[in-house]
Chain A
Amino acid sequence: MRDLFRKIRKTGRVAQDAPRAPEPVLPERARDLGGSVQIRHVDAGSCNGCEVEIASAFGPVYDAERYGARQVASPRHADALLVTGPVTRNMEMALRRTYEAVPEPKVVIALGDCARNCGVFAEAYGVVGAVGDVVPVDLEIPGCPPEPEAIVAALRGLTGR
């Protein structure tokens, strides 16, 4: 316990200084949300590269939580679905049902090239299609995988902070 306390004191703040707020991507949604976005992450068949980047976007260095974004455990609590990976056959129905479980108004974010256009998995036998083929997508974050800065910037566009 003493070691941990010393470490906390020595490390101090590791969060980077906040860059300038980007333009809101969906201004009318950002007004509705009022600086608070609860996010449910759905892995529709990702290689887990995007998950690593999401984890660091919510980690201490980039700290997406300071802009009002928070990950939640249930789609019923969520405002936004963060979908990664091409939609595989086994996840198609699960993704549709998760989308239906989110209360209105809702936003779908397709994160990474696979979610946008299937990326390297295009036309693979187990893949139904991109996220946009299964549920309506409002916002796309390009990259394979996208950098944490890009993820944080997109989320800030939603929270408006």
Chain B
Amino acid sequence: MTGIIGAVLQVVLVAAGAPLLVGLMRQVRARAEGRAGAGILQPWRDLRKLLRKEPITPHGTGPLFRMAPLLLAGTTLVVAAMIPLVTTRSPLDGAADLFAVTALLALGTVALALAGLDTGTAFGGMGASREMVVLALVEPTILLSTFAMSVRVGSTNLGAIVTSVLDDPQQVVFPASLLALVALVVVVIAEAGRIPVDNPSTHLELTMIHEAMVLEYAGPDLALVEWASAMRLTVLLGLLAGLFAPWGIAVDSPAMLPVGAAAIAAKVAVAGAALAAAEVFMAKLRMFRVPELLAGSFVLALFAVASSFFLVAP
């Protein structure tokens, strides 16, 4: 019972909270730049207005173009229900394998990349090819670094990993966990399309990655894409928080669910604000430097796996 309520709570929290997270991050950035900022509710206002607008299907696009936003939002919602955010007892826990989570997130990305190609515009194709470069470099790192976490537990199930960290909090400061944490942070930034890999607020088509693929979306479709992108960022930050700071997650008692919800909301808000504050100090990397950054994080993940075998605490 805890599991079902917890999973519903997770989905509602991610769906409603994701635009607020984006609003919070923009607000932090605005304040650092000396601006007043539009308020954390602005992304919800944008979405409400986009839903009222006319949907446009560009001439020559097929069903893929209409399906991609649905697939992107759908896969993200499934991931939000699966992974341990509020509770480790999600009814989908059996599927909450880290391979399944990675594959679901990749499915959404690939769908959007195909939609970008489907428009037939130069920028759509360019964005799709860049997204695939980033995806191909990011996926192995996600798998390796969560693998480093799962060696100790003997299972790739995310719920089991989180429960084991809860039982033995010392694990978080082991070299394997710390290396995996750094690798995963880089990967989350790349996957969510934030600075220094991609700039979500750019107007220059030549520097775009994610934005270039969605240039042709309008109205409700665009609302779905933006909402789904915000949810992906939330889910990825939530996964980071769950793996490396799982305190507050409800395990058995339903009474812990409100605590779990408050804890994950606070953790994701702090992580998002820290990310936005760090972005102020950074410039976007040139596209050719991005593989170097991601290769670096892959090496860290590799070290994490190695150390999880060799540097085992007595």
Please list the residues of chain B having a beta carbon within 8 angstroms of any beta carbon in chain A: 30-39, 42, 45-46, 48-49, 52-56, 202-205, 208, 211, 215-219, 222, 280-281
- Point out the residue from B30, B45, B55, B281 that lies within 8 Å of A35, measured CB to CB: B45
- Point out the residue from A68, A71, A103 that lies within 8 Å of B54, measured CB to CB: A103
- Point out the residue from A8, A67, A72, A74 that lies within 8 Å of B280, measured CB to CB: A8
Query: Measured between alpha carbons, how far is A36 from B223 in the docked complex, in Å?
Result: 13
| B193 → chain A closest CB, angstroms | 14
| B70 → chain A closest CB, angstroms | 18
* A68 touching B35, Cβ below 8 Å: no
* B-contacting residues, A22-72, CB 8 Å: 32-36, 38, 60, 63, 65-68, 70-72
* A36 touching B49, Cβ below 8 Å: yes
* B36 touching A103, Cβ below 8 Å: no
Please list the residues of chain A having a beta carbon within 8 angstroms of any beta carbon in chain B: 1, 4-5, 8, 11-15, 18, 32-36, 38, 60, 63, 65-68, 70-74, 76-77, 79, 101, 103-105
Interface centre among A38, A60, A68, A77 (most CB of B within 10 A): A77
- Chain A residues, Cβ within 8 Å of B33: 60
Query: Measured between alpha carbons, how far is A37 from B218 in the docked complex, in Å?
Result: 14
Nearest residue (CB) in A for B212 is A73
30 A-B residue contacts at CB 8 Å?
A: A5-B281, A8-B280, A12-B34, A13-B34, A18-B36, A32-B52, A33-B49, A34-B45, A34-B49, A35-B49, A36-B49, A60-B33, A60-B34, A63-B30, A66-B30, A66-B35, A66-B37, A66-B39, A68-B38, A70-B46, A73-B204, A73-B211, A73-B215, A74-B216, A76-B218, A76-B222, A77-B218, A103-B55, A104-B54, A105-B54
Query: Measured between alpha carbons, how far is A5 from B32 in the docked complex, in Å?
Result: 9
- Point out the residue from B53, B56, B204, B281 that lies within 8 Å of A79, measured CB to CB: B53
- Chain A residues, Cβ within 8 Å of B52: 32, 34
Given contacts A65-B30, A73-B208, contact A79 B222 (CB under 8 A): no
